[in-house]
Chain A
Amino acid sequence: MPEQVATKTRRLPAAFEALFWPVLALVLLLVFNALFTPNYLKVEMVDGRLSGYLIDIFRDGAAVMLVALGMTLVIGTGGVDLSVGAIMAIAAVLAAAMVTPAWLGDTLGPWAVDAYANHPGAWVALLLVVSLAAAAVVGMWNGLLVSVLRVQPIIATLILMVSGRGLAQLICGGQIYLFDDEPSLRFIGQGTLLGLPFSLWLVAAMLIVTALLTRRTALGLMIESVGDNDLASHYAGLRARTIKFMVYAFSGLCAGVAGLIESTNVSSANANKIGLWFELDAIFAVVVGGTALTGGRFFIIGSVVGALLIQTLTNTMYVYEVRPEVALIPKALIILAVCLLQSAAFRRRVVGALTAPFKSKGTQGNAAAGGAG
């Protein structure tokens, strides 16, 4: 299991400390639901796929978990990536446009329409590579700004957070393209493999990749070192810039995969809607999972648990048909409680972040995703 890869190689007490509160909060929330929602814990096989409230949480939370993976490494270096939502939109729009003959004809020429018609399988493979590569390249742009030009991470990624959606709009010319005619792409967000949502397998694969990358190479140590003391790391011969560049590129890639999951789940790629406010959910997942915003020690599994906790909260509100604007309040309070319980040092930061109306649209986005699935 990937979980063990990440936790076993780390000092157990630190990981345990980081995981204790989010896991406890998640368990309490599940117990609460199990008591008050009929059949909450029931998972049954319907038409060859597992279904139930718990499966919904995993499926709906797949994109946030993925984005949180990349975000964990970025925050580990002491940075932050606000552009993940916009990158999701870019990847999604690019993928949707590339299976729309009208767009292909207008943008690339008739050869592209023919290529898609004659070799749909190869074309889909190509568009996956293209859209994920685009996401990674956009992430590299962030990395360039932060590591080479030394722009503050929050500003560097804010630039792309705003302009990224513009870029996505430019690609699709303001149109909302659909995945209706391409079932192989819809499979990413809606399909089932061995009884489980396919998106969950993607998350598992990316989790293993991240764990191997950080714990089987020296990347984890280097990220933590750079995040904890940039200058001393430079003096110790580390390539602090290269490491920062890499984590932003990786965060872009993770967001790209998440964008494909989100858009294929709802069968359409709306440049204004895909991934909206995901950066906030992802940052919360990372912080709840025990990684400090100041950089240094990071906890991949903690972030995954944090993402699940946030998704469980969202789905709980959904089950109880709490109005989205009211749902924000209990959600916010629970997240706040977990953070405060975890570390006194978080208090000031958490209070600062909560003063922003952080979830007003994220809830709707998640609800829409859940509804369509």
Chain B
Amino acid sequence: MTADQAPPLLTIRGVSKTFPGVRALDDVQLTLRRGEVHALMGENGAGKSTLIKVLTGVESADGGEMLLDGQPIRPNSPRDAEAVGISTVYQEVNLVPNLSVAENLCLGRFPKTAGVIRWGEARRRAQAALRRLNLDLDVRRQLSSYSLALQQMIAIARALDTDAKLLILDEPTSSLDDNEVDELLGVMDRLRSEGLGILFVTHFMDQVYRISDRITVLRNGGFVCERRTAELPRLELISAMVGKDVAALEEQEAQARAGHAQATQGETLLKAEGLGHTGVHGPMNFEIEKGQTVGLAGLLGSGRTETAWMVFGVDPAGSGKLKFDGKDVNPGSPREAMALGIAMTPEDRKAAGIIPNLSVRENIVLALQSRRGLWRRLSKARQRELADQYIASLNIKTPHREQLVRNLSGGNQQKVLLARWLAIEPRLFILDEPTRGIDVGAKGEIEKLIRVLAEKGMSILFISSELEEVARTCQRVVVLRDRRQVGVLDGEGISEKAILEMIAASPTGGASKEAAHA
């Protein structure tokens, strides 16, 4: 760990930024020292991205000051920021896949004589930049011929090639596997010892605790706290991020209990045994009983959606077993999952859910029609009947059934998707963030619908970022962190606090790697 006495490299004081209708940053402060890895934490919408945009000159702050090495800075573009020594590597590798490594490293700053590029020198410079990260690559090869992890390293090498003093890493590990993450953290450690300051943005808690010296937490655009990592227990970090203090969480516990009394039939419908992708995700072990609502809880990026995808056949599991109604299954496509009686409303309603330019009626009959196949077309009368039935029972607000779905509000679009799947009478219904971005009224209606469906014997796999909602709705909660299952809570044991504690519990050593069996 670096000494606290080191002079601050970057000081941010009182920075604010307002977008029309949103206070994205409100009096934010941050102090980052030389030779320090500083984690910037916060849930979605906390203001991390806006702060980075202000730092890199993509957006300009409304007020406050930023000092780099004691000098006030006010970058107006990423180029400005680079010129003063702030370089950024983004989550998605921000390079040109079809150019060579050397071209990528020198893009925009080729060594030239009278406008002609000196290729020999460009290659030498590229090699030198990579050597700083202990990389020895053929810089003439196309960037895309290297793995994502190496591309990420190359992006870092490019960022450092500008005499950077401060390196911002924005979610650099989200597409990397375990070994690649290890490599990247190793590089970060080496750069830190060279005296570079690193601002590390990630959702992966374990990585924060492995590498960072200090943590700054933001919430709803405001500064919450800055602490040394060693002095900030995980539970406190999480409660700082979600804005509930530990005592308040305990109080809610009692409230939530009432919702768990629901009786299930006690028969197992779905059983996951070691489900996952070796080295990347899992293993997941959980059961869903008939008529039971099971929640998948965890922070963003913890692998909730990926788990749903394995069950629904979007991304079939690479390892482990899945039992549905006593039989071994591994749906290879949504169609195969549908044939088993599994339905799913996806997290990304716009991209993967609605057919925007088709009518409410057509959107509702789609799944049922695709199960019936091409030739057994639902009659016009039956389609109208189905549409009207669900418009009434789910209280879908639309002028009429022929309205295009894109003209509906988010909540009503979600209800149309629910109707689409209810029409096939699924046995297991996966709801991925069904209440995200919809108004409170519709939210309540959807929660109520879940209870009614469960009473009728339908099993539900419920995913939500709102832990309170998970605690209220589910009779069993599978808790995830960093794409690993960290525990299961049942009945009385479910509470928002218990979920948070489980997310925060320190990792169980190398268990995850051992468990990656077939």
Residues of A within 8 A of B (CB): 9, 11, 216-219, 221-222, 224-225, 228-229, 231-239, 296-297
Q: Does B354 contact A (CB under 8 A)?
A: yes
A9 touches B366 (CB 8 A): no
A228 touches B355 (CB 8 A): yes
Contact of B352 among A216, A228, A232 (CB under 8 A): A232
Residues of chain A with a CB closer than 8 A to B378's CB: 218
A238 to B376, CA, bound (A): 14
A9 touches B369 (CB 8 A): no
- Can you give 14 contacting A-B residue pairs, CB < 8 Å? A218-B369, A225-B362, A228-B356, A228-B358, A231-B352, A232-B351, A233-B355, A233-B366, A235-B314, A235-B353, A236-B355, A236-B420, A238-B335, A296-B358
B357 touches A236 (CB 8 A): no
Q: Give the most central of A219, A221, A222, A231: most B CB within 10 Å.
A: A221
Residues of chain B with a CB closer than 8 A to A228's CB: 355-358
A237 touches B334 (CB 8 A): yes
A237 touches B352 (CB 8 A): no
Residues of chain A with a CB closer than 8 A to B371's CB: 237
Contact of B377 among A217, A235, A296 (CB under 8 A): A217
Residues of chain B with a CB closer than 8 A to A219's CB: 374
Residues of chain B with a CB closer than 8 A to A238's CB: 335, 366, 370
Give chain A nearest CB distance to B145 CB in angstroms. Answer: 21
Give chain A nearest CB distance to B382 CB in angstroms. Answer: 12
Contact of B367 among A9, A231, A237, A296 (CB under 8 A): A237
Q: Does B372 contact A (CB under 8 A)?
A: yes
Q: Does B402 contact A (CB under 8 A)?
A: yes
A237 touches B356 (CB 8 A): no
B354 touches A237 (CB 8 A): no
Contact of A221 among B334, B366, B373 (CB under 8 A): B366
Q: Does B409 contact A (CB under 8 A)?
A: no
Q: Closest A-chain residue to B314, C-beta based?
A: A235
A237 to B351, CA, bound (A): 15
Q: Does B197 contact A (CB under 8 A)?
A: no
A232 to B376, CA, bound (A): 21
Counting from the closest, the 9 A-B pairs by CB-CB distance are A237-B338, A237-B370, A218-B377, A237-B335, A238-B370, A236-B366, A229-B355, A228-B357, A296-B357
B354 touches A216 (CB 8 A): no
Q: Please tell me the number of chain B residues within 8 Å of chain A, measured between CB atoms.
A: 33
Which residues 333-372 of B sit at the A interface, judged by CB distance below 8 A?
333-335, 338, 344, 346, 351-359, 362, 365-367, 369-372
Residues of chain B with a CB closer than 8 A to A239's CB: 335, 370
Contact of A236 among B351, B370, B372 (CB under 8 A): B370
Q: Closest B-chain residue to A238, C-beta based?
A: B370
Q: Does B375 contact A (CB under 8 A)?
A: yes
Give chain B nearest CB distance to A220 CB in angstroms. Answer: 9
B358 touches A235 (CB 8 A): no
Q: Does B380 contact A (CB under 8 A)?
A: yes
Which residues 46-64 of B sit at the A interface, judged by CB distance below 8 A?
none
A133 to B349, CA, bound (A): 42
A246 to B352, CA, bound (A): 23
- A11-B402, A218-B372, A218-B374 known; A235-B352 Cβ under 8 A: yes
- A218-B377, A219-B374 known; A232-B353 Cβ under 8 A: yes
Give chain A nearest CB distance to B400 CB in angstroms. Answer: 10
A11 to B359, CA, bound (A): 10
Give chain B nearest CB distance to A216 CB in angstroms. Answer: 7
A222 touches B334 (CB 8 A): no
Residues of chain B with a CB closer than 8 A to A9's CB: 380
- A233-B355, A238-B370, A239-B335 known; A221-B362 Cβ under 8 A: yes
B334 touches A236 (CB 8 A): yes
10 A-B pairs besides A218-B372, A228-B358, A239-B370 with CB distance below 8 A are: A11-B402, A217-B377, A218-B376, A221-B362, A221-B377, A222-B369, A224-B355, A225-B366, A235-B314, A237-B335
Which residues 13-33 of B sit at the A interface, judged by CB distance below 8 A?
none
Residues of chain B with a CB closer than 8 A to A229's CB: 351, 354-356
Residues of chain B with a CB closer than 8 A to A237's CB: 334-335, 338, 367, 370-371
A232 touches B377 (CB 8 A): no
Query: 1/0 per position for B367-400, CB-CB distance to A under 8 A?
Result: 1011111111110100000000000000000000
A233 to B370, CA, bound (A): 9
A233 to B375, CA, bound (A): 18
Which residues 264-287 of B sit at the A interface, judged by CB distance below 8 A?
none
A11 to B344, CA, bound (A): 29
Give chain B nearest CB distance to A148 CB in angstroms. Answer: 14
Q: Closest A-chain residue to B366, C-beta based?
A: A236
A338 to B121, CA, bound (A): 57
A259 to B357, CA, bound (A): 35
Give chain A nearest CB distance to B514 CB in angstroms. Answer: 34
Contact of B354 among A222, A232, A296, A297 (CB under 8 A): A232
Which residues 106-147 of B sit at the A interface, judged by CB distance below 8 A?
none
A51 to B365, CA, bound (A): 48
Give chain A nearest CB distance to B363 CB in angstroms. Answer: 9
Which residues 302-344 of B sit at the A interface, judged by CB distance below 8 A?
314, 333-335, 338, 344
Q: Give the most central of A11, A221, A235, A296: most B CB within 10 Å.
A: A235
Q: Closest A-chain residue to B338, C-beta based?
A: A237
Residues of chain A with a CB closer than 8 A to B374's CB: 217-219, 222
Q: Closest A-chain residue to B353, C-beta based?
A: A232
A222 touches B370 (CB 8 A): yes
Q: Closest B-chain residue to A243, C-beta based?
A: B374
Give chain A nearest CB distance to B304 CB in angstroms. Answer: 17
Give chain A nearest CB distance to B375 CB in angstroms. Answer: 6
A148 to B334, CA, bound (A): 17
A225 touches B314 (CB 8 A): no
Q: Closest A-chain residue to B362, C-beta based?
A: A221
Contact of B334 among A216, A225, A235 (CB under 8 A): A235
A222 to B367, CA, bound (A): 10
Q: Closest A-chain residue to B346, C-beta based?
A: A235
A233 to B365, CA, bound (A): 12
Residues of chain A with a CB closer than 8 A to B351's CB: 229, 231-232
Residues of chain A with a CB closer than 8 A to B375's CB: 217-218
Q: Closest B-chain residue to A8, C-beta based?
A: B380
Residues of chain A with a CB closer than 8 A to B354's CB: 229, 232
Give chain B nearest CB distance to A69 CB in angstroms. Answer: 19
Give chain B nearest CB distance to A197 CB in angstroms. Answer: 33
Residues of chain A with a CB closer than 8 A to B359's CB: 11
Residues of chain B with a CB closer than 8 A to A218's CB: 369-370, 372-378
A228 to B346, CA, bound (A): 17
A102 to B375, CA, bound (A): 45
Q: Closest B-chain residue to A294, C-beta based?
A: B357
Q: Closest B-chain residue to A12, C-beta based?
A: B402
- A231-B352, A297-B357 known; A236-B373 Cβ under 8 A: no
A221 to B370, CA, bound (A): 10
A234 to B357, CA, bound (A): 16
Give chain B nearest CB distance to A236 CB in angstroms. Answer: 5
A237 to B366, CA, bound (A): 8
Query: 1/0 per position for B135-167, CB-CB distance to A under 8 A?
Result: 000000000000000000000000000000000
